[in-house]
A and B are shown apart, each in its own frame.
Chain A
Amino acid sequence: MQDQPKNDGMERRMVHRMLMQWRSAQEGSGIPGFRDVLSRDLGDIHPCIYMLEIDEDIPDPFFERIGGAFADEGSTSLVGHAVSEAPDNTLLGQAVKYYSRVQVKQIPITLGGEFVHANGDTILYRSIIMPARDSEGVDSYLIGAANYKVKDA
């Protein structure tokens, strides 16, 4: 889940690469379909991805899928659960906390920060949330990705 090192002036951060994949899936400059984004060759980003589904009949979006990179903290069991159930002291809980801004503005937002994980480690993380459409063109998904490193003591 670590970012690749920077070389030859290229931006190698995972959130940047994920955003470039999202932009590549765009037709014109609109919001892409989630299948168009997730079917791309995402490489090492893939396990860092989660997706929220927005259902008009349910107040909170819920986790439609959660990548394997969140398994260590037990977050993968939150699939099908409301976003509000993600604990604050987990990477998923931190990475998803600004989802409502993306939902309202319908644009990608990147955010990083520091928090004390449930396991006691101080974590530095970077995250991104992007809007996505279903096959009928409705803005009903949010694709998120996050990675982290443990802060040196």
Chain B
Amino acid sequence: MAISVSFEIYSFKNGDWMLDSVHDDKNMAIHQGRMLIASPHHMAIRVIEESYDDAADRSFSKIIYKDQKGKDEQKPKKQAPKDKKSGGAPVKKKKKKKDDFSKNLIIMVISVGGIGLGLLALVAVLIAKFG
């Protein structure tokens, strides 16, 4: 029932995942992965845990760490601004949406009213001209 475990680091280069190195220690593999992604030659990194059951002749793989360039820069844009004082940033955002809706509704009513008045004036002119 001997199960051997190894940790393979893959790096994304030239449109393909290339095996970079193999380790028997999980922490070291993840640490290496973190260092690689910080270097300019690696666009994305995956650390895959490979378990092999000698008795059953079966292997099992799973990704235990992954990272890619540019991921950290995109994150802050997605996150809501951290404002401890307001404590209710999402509610405020919702209120702003409601305000926008009211403004749009008023503009729409004025526009429809204006068009209606214009049509009435046109009809009045036509009646006056042609009887």
Q: Is A122 in contact with chain B by the CB < 8 A criterion?
A: no
A109 close to B22 (CB less than 8 A): yes
Q: Quick one: which of B23-66 are within 8 Å of A by CB?
A: 23-25, 27-28, 31-32, 35, 39, 41-42
Q: Which residue of B lies closest to A106 (CB)?
A: B19
Q: Is A38 in contact with chain B by the CB < 8 A criterion?
A: no
Q: Is B20 in contact with chain A by the CB < 8 A criterion?
A: yes
Q: Quick one: which of A92-146 are within 8 Å of B by CB?
A: 101, 105, 107-112
Q: Is A28 in contact with chain B by the CB < 8 A criterion?
A: yes
CA distance A16 to B28 in the complex (A): 7
Asked, given contacts A29-B11, A107-B20, whether A11 binds B25 with beta carbons under 8 Å apart, the answer is: no
Chain A: interface residue count, which band?
Answer: 10 to 19
B31 close to A19 (CB less than 8 A): no
Q: Which residue of A lies closest to B35 (CB)?
A: A20
Whole-angstrom distance between the Cβ of B42 and the nearest chain A Cβ:
8
Q: Is A35 in contact with chain B by the CB < 8 A criterion?
A: no
Chain B: interface residue count, which band?
Answer: 10 to 19
Asked, given contacts A110-B22, A112-B25, whether A19 binds B32 with beta carbons under 8 Å apart, the answer is: yes
A16 close to B32 (CB less than 8 A): yes
Contacts of A81 in B (CB 8 A): none
Q: Which residue of B lies closest to A15 (CB)?
A: B28
A28 close to B41 (CB less than 8 A): yes
Q: Quick one: which of B97-131 are within 8 Å of A by CB?
A: none
Q: Is B13 in contact with chain A by the CB < 8 A criterion?
A: yes
B24 close to A110 (CB less than 8 A): yes
CA distance A105 to B24 in the complex (A): 16
Whole-angstrom distance between the Cβ of B34 and the nearest chain A Cβ:
10
**29 A-B contact pairs sorted by A residue (CB < 8 Å):** A11-B27, A11-B28, A11-B31, A13-B28, A15-B28, A16-B28, A16-B32, A19-B21, A19-B32, A20-B35, A28-B41, A29-B11, A29-B13, A29-B42, A101-B22, A107-B19, A107-B20, A107-B21, A107-B22, A108-B21, A109-B21, A109-B23, A110-B21, A110-B22, A110-B23, A110-B25, A110-B28, A111-B24, A112-B24
- In the A-B complex, list the 10 residue pairs whose CB atoms are closest, starting with the nearest: A29-B41, A108-B21, A109-B22, A110-B23, A11-B31, A111-B24, A107-B21, A107-B19, A112-B24, A16-B28
